[in-house]
Amino acid sequence: MPLMNTKTSYTQFIKSHAYRLGFLSCGISKAGFLEEEAPKLEKWLSQNMHGEMHYMENHFDKRLNPTLLIEDAKSVVSLLYNYFPEKQQRTDTYKISKYAYGKDYHYVIKDKLKELMVILQEEIGQINGRAFVDSAPVLEQAWAAKSGLGWIGKHTNLITKKTGSFYFIAELIIDIELEYDTPVTNHCGSCTACIDACPTQAIVEPYIVDGSKCISYFTIELKNEIPLEMKGKFNDWMFGCDICQDVCPWNRFSKPHNQPLFTPNEQLLNYSKKDWEEITREVFNEVFRKSPVKRTKFEGLKRNIAFLNNEKPYQK
pLDDT tens, residue by residue, 17-72: 999 999 999 999 999 999 999 999 899 999 999 988 878 888 888 899 999 999 89
- In DSSP terms, which residues pair with 30 in a beta bridge? 75
Cα separations in angstroms, 112 against 172, 246, 259: 11, 28, 12
Query: What integer pLDDT is reported at residue 199 of this predicted model?
Result: 98
Query: What integer pLDDT is reported at residue 241 of this predicted model?
Result: 98
Q: Which of 72, 104, 134, 181 is catalytic?
A: 134
pLDDT tens, residue by residue, 274-284: 999 999 999 99
218: left (phi over 0), alpha (psi -120 to 50) or beta: alpha
Residues contacting residue 256 through CB under 8 Å, at least 6 positions apart: 84, 85, 86
Query: What integer pLDDT is reported at residue 304 of this predicted model?
Result: 97
The residue ranges of the chain whose pLDDT is under 50 are 316
Which residue, 166, 71, 48, 183, is CA-closest to 127?
71
Query: What integer pLDDT is reported at residue 78 of this predicted model?
Result: 98
Query: What integer pLDDT is reported at residue 313 of this predicted model?
Result: 56
Query: What integer pLDDT is reported at residue 2 of this predicted model?
Result: 54
Query: What integer pLDDT is reported at residue 3 of this predicted model?
Result: 67
The yes-or-no answer on residue 134 being catalytic is yes
Query: What integer pLDDT is reported at residue 76 of this predicted model?
Result: 97
